[in-house]
Chain A
Amino acid sequence: MSDHNAPGQPGEPDQPGRGDDLMAGLAGGESASGESGGSGEAPRPRRVIGTPPPAQARTLLPAEQEAEQPPAPELPAEPENMKRANRAEKLVAACFIIATLAGLGFIAAYVIFQVHSVTKVLHSNIALGTTMAVAFLAMGVGATIWVRHVMPKVELTEQRHPMRSSPENRAAFAKTFEEGADTSQFTKRPIIRRTLIAATVPIAVAPIVLLRDMGPLPRKSLEHTVWKRGTRLVVFGSNRPLTPAEFSTPGSSVSVIPEGYEDNDDALAKAATTLIKFRPGELQEPTRLNWTVNNIVAYSKICTHVGCPAALYEQTTHHILCPCHQSTFDAARGATVLFGPATRPLPQLPLMVNTEGFLVAASDYQEPVGPSYWERS
C-alpha cells in the first residue's frame, strides 16, 4: 500500500482529490464543482445559510470533463480456470442447499421438540443447536468457496486520501459559522441566550431525579436484622431449635436462622448465621467470650466484602472461607480477617440460653452485617 497520501499531509491545492470535495461539501456546504478534471479554478459561489446549495454541487450526472477521463480498469469477469470454477459452483450450491435444509430443520425442530421436562430440553437444545450451527457453517463455507474458486483472483489497492479539508474550505467554514452566529444574534441578545441555557438545565438534571426509581433509601434498615433478645436459633432447612447439649460435638458447624422468619427471604438475607462449636480453650480474644455459650459461637454468614454466604468452615484450622473471593476469617479469634478482600471481621451474634434451655440470641447484631457501605458509622 502506498502512503504518499497519508492523512495529515496537505493535498496539492490546485488538484484536490475526490475526498477533498466530499469533505468540503459536508463541512461547509460549499461547492467545489468543476475541479475534478483538474481544469483550473472554477468560481465558488458563496452560499447563504438556509438556502439550498448551488445546483451543480448536488448533481448526480457526470460532468463533461469526467467523461473524458480514461475508464477505470476493469476487473476480469471470468475466472482463470473455468473447469474448476464450474465444479466449485456446484459445491457452493450444495452448501447453500444444505444451509437451506438445516434452516428448515431448525424450524421443524422448534415445532417438534417440546420443552416441558429436563430430558426434553436436552433433546431440543441439541436439535436446535445442531441445525443452526450447520446452517450458518454451510453458508460460510459456501461463501468462502465461492470467493476462492469462482471469483477471479485479483488484488485491489485502495488509495487513502487526506481527511483534512483544504485551507480554503476551513477558512470558509469558520467565516460561515461566525456569520451564522451574528445573523442569529445569539451573542447580541443575552436574554434569549440565557433563557435557552436555563431551559436545558432541568432536562439535564432529570436523569438524576429518576434515580429515585431505584427504590427507597435504605435509611437505618441496613443496621438491624430481625434477631432480638430471646429469638431462638433454628437449624436452616429443618427449622429445629437447638440446645447447647444437642450442639455439643466439637467441630460442629451449622447454618441457623431466627425462629419465625423461616420463609422470609428478605429477613434471612441479613439474618443468616453460622453456629460453631469449639473445644474448651480454643476460643480466644478478640472473640466476645461473654457472647458465647459452652464454647458455641455465632457469626454472621454474610461476608463483609460483598455479601456472599461465607460458610466454608474448616474445623481443623477454624477458617471460615468465603467462596466468592477467598476472604478467610479466623473463627476462633472473633472472625478476624486472615486473607482476602474483606476488611472487617464477621459480626458476632450475642448468644444465651433461655429458661427452657434453648440457644437464643441475647440481642441483635451490635454492628451492621454484610458489606461495608458509605453511610456505615
Chain B
Amino acid sequence: MGALYASLTGGGNAASAAPPAAKDVAQINAGRQIFLQECATCHGFAAQGTPGVAPSLIGVGAAAVDFQVSTGRMPAAENGAENPDKPPRLTPGQTSAVATYIASLGGGPAEPSAAELNTSQADVGVGQQLFVANCAQCHNFVGAGGALTYGKFAPALTQTTPKQIYEAMLTGPEAMPVFNNNTLTPDQKRDIVAYVTGTRAQPNPGGFSLGRVGPVTEGLVAFLGLLLFMVLVAIWITAKHGKSKSHE
C-alpha cells in the first residue's frame, strides 16, 4: 500500500501513506457527504473528474483541497478562464473533512504542518532570490499579481495566508506550475513565504504604492494628474474678467 502511494505522490509529501485510523473514518465519511453536495456535480461522484470541465481529484492531496476551498476558488461559481478567489463557502472544519476524504482516495501532498510554516528561522534573502527566479515573472516582484494569456491571471499575494502560499507552491493551482519538495525544498518554500509576507510591511520610499505594479502606473498617474493641474492653471491664467480695453 505504501509503495502504491509513494508511486502516486511522485516525491511529494506522503503523509497520508498509512491506512486511515478508525477515528479518521468518521472524518472521511463526513468529507464524502460534503463532497457529494458541493463538488460532485463537476468532479464526479468518485472524484474521477469530468473531461473538459473539471479534473480528477484522485491523487491531488489534502493540500490542493485546502488551498482551493480555503481561498474560496472551489466550489467554483462558473466555468471561466480562471476561478478567482472569493469568500470561502465551506467552514475550516468542512474543508478539513473534504481534504481528508480526497487524501484518502490516494496520495498527493498533505497540508503543511505548523513547523513547516514557522518562518522565524527563514532566510528572507534566499526567499527573495527564489521568488524572483521562479515566481516574480507572473506574480510581480512584490506579489502584486499580473496578467496571463486568454483571460487567466496570476493573483495578487497580498491577502494570501502563509499556508495558502505554501500549498500553492506544493500543488500548482490553476495555471501555476508545481514546485514539489525536491524542486523547492520545504526550507526554501518557508524562505519564499517569509519574503512574500515580509514585502507587505515594507515602506514605499516614493510615496503612494499605487498597487506596486511598477513604473507604468506611476507614470500614468503623474501624467494625468499633472495634465489636469496644468489645464486648470492655464484656464485660470487666461481667464478674462473685468474690463479689458483693446489697444493697438
Residues of A in contact with B (beta carbons under 8 Å apart): 73, 75-76, 80-81, 118-119, 121-122, 125-126, 140, 144, 147-148, 153-157, 235-238, 240, 242, 245-255, 276-277, 309, 311-317, 319, 321, 323, 326, 328, 339
Does A252 lie within 8 Å of B183, measured CB to CB? yes
Q: A242-B182, A315-B176, A319-B149 are in contact. Are A144 and B236 (CB under 8 A)?
A: yes
The 6 listed contacts between A and B (C-beta, < 8 Å) are: A122-B203, A122-B207, A140-B233, A157-B248, A238-B184, A250-B178
* Cβ 8 A contact of B207, one of A76, A125, A148, A246: A125
Does A153 lie within 8 Å of B11, measured CB to CB? no
* Cβ 8 A contact of B206, one of A125, A156, A316, A323: A125
Q: A118-B203, A237-B133 are in contact. Are A315 and B177 (CB under 8 A)?
A: yes
Does A253 lie within 8 Å of B177, measured CB to CB? yes
**Roughly how many angstroms separate A314 CA and B149 CA in the complex, as a whole number?**
9
* Cβ 8 A contact of B175, one of A76, A248, A315, A323: A315
Does A339 lie within 8 Å of B149, measured CB to CB? yes
**Roughly how many angstroms separate A276 CA and B183 CA in the complex, as a whole number?**
11
Does A249 lie within 8 Å of B178, measured CB to CB? yes
Task: Collect the chain B residues with CB atoms within 8 Å of residue A252's CB.
Answer: 172, 177-180, 183
**Closest beta carbon of chain A to B191's beta carbon, Å:** 10
Does B137 lie within 8 Å of A309, measured CB to CB? yes
For residue B242, CB closer than 8 A to chain A, the reply is yes
Q: Mark B200-239, 1 if CB is under 8 A from A, else 0.
A: 0011111100000000000000000000000001001100
Does A316 lie within 8 Å of B150, measured CB to CB? no
For residue B129, CB closer than 8 A to chain A, the reply is yes
Does A125 lie within 8 Å of B205, measured CB to CB? yes
Given A242-B183, A252-B178, A311-B137, 6 more pairs with CB closer than 8 A: A156-B248, A246-B180, A253-B177, A314-B149, A315-B177, A316-B175
The count of chain B contact residues (Cβ–Cβ below 8 Å) is: 45
Does A254 lie within 8 Å of B183, measured CB to CB? yes
Q: Mark B162-204, 1 if CB is under 8 A from A, else 0.
A: 0000000000101111111011110010000000000000111
Task: Collect the chain B residues with CB atoms within 8 Å of residue A323's CB.
Answer: 137, 146
For residue B50, CB closer than 8 A to chain A, the reply is no
**Roughly how many angstroms separate A245 CA and B7 CA in the complex, as a whole number?**
10
Task: Collect the chain A residues with CB atoms within 8 Å of residue B76's CB.
Answer: none
Task: Collect the chain A residues with CB atoms within 8 Å of residue B183's CB.
Answer: 235, 242, 246-247, 249, 252, 254
**Roughly how many angstroms separate A144 CA and B237 CA in the complex, as a whole number?**
6
For residue B91, CB closer than 8 A to chain A, the reply is no
* Cβ 8 A contact of B133, one of A73, A153, A236: A236
Residues of B in contact with A (beta carbons under 8 Å apart): 10-12, 126, 129-130, 133-134, 137-138, 146, 148-150, 152, 154, 172, 174-180, 182-185, 188, 202-207, 233, 236-237, 242-248
Kindly list the 7 A-B residue pairs having the minimum CB-CB distance in the complex, ordered from nearest: A246-B182, A253-B177, A314-B175, A154-B247, A237-B130, A248-B10, A311-B137
Does B10 lie within 8 Å of A237, measured CB to CB? no
**Closest beta carbon of chain B to A282's beta carbon, Å:** 14
Q: Residue of B at shortest CB range from A158?
A: B248
**Roughly how many angstroms separate A235 CA and B180 CA in the complex, as a whole number?**
13
Task: Collect the chain A residues with CB atoms within 8 Å of residue B247's CB.
Answer: 73, 75-76, 154-156
**Closest beta carbon of chain B to A275's beta carbon, Å:** 9
* Cβ 8 A contact of A153, one of B176, B236, B244: B244
Task: Collect the chain A residues with CB atoms within 8 Å of residue B137's CB.
Answer: 309, 311-312, 323
**Closest beta carbon of chain A to B143's beta carbon, Å:** 15
**Roughly how many angstroms separate A147 CA and B180 CA in the complex, as a whole number?**
71
Task: Collect the chain A residues with CB atoms within 8 Å of residue B206's CB.
Answer: 122, 125
Q: A237-B130, A252-B183, A312-B148 are in contact. Are A155 and B177 (CB under 8 A)?
A: no
**Closest beta carbon of chain A to B147's beta carbon, Å:** 9
* Cβ 8 A contact of B150, one of A125, A140, A156, A317: A317
Task: Collect the chain B residues with CB atoms within 8 Å of residue A313's CB.
Answer: 177
